[in-house]
Chain A
Amino acid sequence: SQQGEEDPQALSIQEGENATMNCSYKTSINNLQWYRQNSGRGLVHLILIRSNEREKHSGRLRVTLDTSKKSSSLLITASRAADTASYFCATAVYGNNRLAFGKGNQVVVIP
């Protein structure tokens, strides 16, 4: 079953601006992961946040996790044209190596 549900579905921003996307899920999780998919390519793992973590950074990426609200956000700061892609959140539950992916957010960064 689909776990993550990103919101909004499509985002168009100017280069240099920040992009924020959200993800909600329904069950208890072990960790939540964000992936990027460029057009016509496979998914690339960006960042993993565990259920006992609240915030994590990786370069220009900042991920937050609120387990009480069952939601996560991905912030891309100082966006670049190369950040144009679809972004997916995925959840992993305890004792299960299966990742359930959300619908994905299309982000377009305009140079």
Chain B
Amino acid sequence: DTAVSQTPKYLVTQMGNDKSIKCEQNLGHDTMYWYKQDSKKFLKIMFSYNNKELIINETVPNRFSPKSPDKAHLNLHINSLELGDSAVYFCASSLTGNYGYTFGSGTRLTVV
């Protein structure tokens, strides 16, 4: 009955690899997000989808590509991973209208 679930929870991979993180929400929310949290705990939005349509695309390297097959799912694919990509990536969802977000538990990505 998890509201926003992300997989995997931990991801350790070598530089240059390609990896994906998956996110699913069962709250009936129409908007989903990817945030990146750095080592100083600063949270920065990366992408947002509303009803499968990309509405926010921050200045993120094009190695990062989100995909939303339906409004309950938002995946993040990262190509050619770099050391600086190491961070915790959070998926979140909300209802349009500026209500609170519901966050997943995060995916800790470590690039070695």
| A residues whose Cβ falls under 8 Å from a Cβ of B | 2, 30-31, 33, 35, 37, 40-45, 48, 86, 88, 92, 97-101, 103-104
A86 to B41 alpha-carbon distance, docked (Å): 9
B1 to chain A minimum Cβ distance, whole angstroms, is 16
* Total number of B residues with any Cβ neighbor in A under 8 Å: 27
Which of A35, A97, A101 lies in contact with B94, CB distance below 8 A?
A97
| B residues whose Cβ falls under 8 Å from a Cβ of A | 4, 31, 35, 40-45, 48, 50, 55-56, 90, 92, 94, 96-106
A98 to B94 alpha-carbon distance, docked (Å): 10
Q: Which residues of A contact B96 (CB under 8 A)?
A: 97
A51 to chain B minimum Cβ distance, whole angstroms, is 10
Can you list 19 A-B contacts (CB < 8 A)? A37-B41, A42-B4, A42-B90, A42-B103, A43-B90, A43-B103, A45-B101, A45-B102, A48-B99, A48-B100, A86-B41, A92-B98, A97-B50, A97-B55, A101-B35, A101-B42, A103-B40, A103-B41, A103-B42
Q: Which residues of A contact B97 (CB under 8 A)?
A: 97
Q: Which residue of A lies closest to B56 (CB)?
A: A98
Having A2-B42, A40-B106, A45-B101, one finds 7 other A-B pairs with CB under 8 Å, namely: A35-B103, A43-B92, A43-B103, A86-B41, A97-B98, A99-B45, A103-B42
Q: Which residues of B contact A41 (CB under 8 A)?
A: 105-106
A58 to chain B minimum Cβ distance, whole angstroms, is 12
Given known pairs A41-B105, A97-B50, the reply for A104 and B41 (CB within 8 Å) is: yes
